[in-house]
Structure 1
Amino acid sequence: MPGARSTRASAALDRLKARSGNAGYSMARTGDGLFFLSEKPGAPPLCAPLELDAFVAFVNGLGPQTPRRVSKLDVAFEKQLVRKKP
């Protein structure tokens, strides 16, 4: 299932490009199936070759983070949790 693996990694890369505004980020895959990231094709890698889960976590941690969306129902639920603690 190598296609799903690279799709998950490329989706993380697309999210990073959208968050940072830098369309030059590039992902590469080694023969062992490990992933690494560089700022542009041919540039030195920003990380050592990583497994898929570690790579996605690394890419998700880079750049500005998008704020978590919170609905008014979430806020009301949080207030109830705080109020009900003994």
Structure 2
Amino acid sequence: MASPRSTRASAAVDRLKLRSGNAGYSMARTGDGLFFLSEKAGAPPLCAPLELDAFVAFVNGQGPQVARRVSKLDVAFEKQLVKKKPS
């Protein structure tokens, strides 16, 4: 059974695969519990072995980024924040 740590890391790699369209990305875990990413199984790693949080941040920064969805209500709220000035 996968630990929550590896599940979180593999979910980040799955999101990267969807964003980039490259299904070859592969994650590996060292004996020390550190993670690294490669473009395909057996390829040289794209990063040094990293702790979980650093690895997830690294993977999230790779590939094309998904634009944040903004609703009309969000835009209106941000305009109100700009208009309000303390008196």
Q: TM-score, normalised by structure 1?
A: 0.96
**Unpaired segments ≥5 residues, structure 1:** none
> What is residue 3 of structure 2 aligned with on the other side?
3
Aligned to 1:83: 83
Q: Where does residue 50 of structure 1 map in the other structure?
A: 50
2:27 paired residue number = 27
Question: Normalized against structure 2, the TM-score is what?
Answer: 0.95
Runs of 5+ unmatched residues, structure 2: none
Q: What amino acid is the match of 1:68?
A: R
Moved beyond 2 Å, runs of 4+: none
Aligned residues: 85
Q: Which has the higher helix share?
A: 1
Q: Percent identity between the aligned chains? A: 88
The alpha carbon displacement at 1:85 in A equals 2.5
What is the root-mean-square deviation in Å for CA atoms of aligned residues?
A: 0.9
Aligned-partner Cα distance in 2 for 1:25–1:85 = 49
Match for residue 18 of structure 2? 18
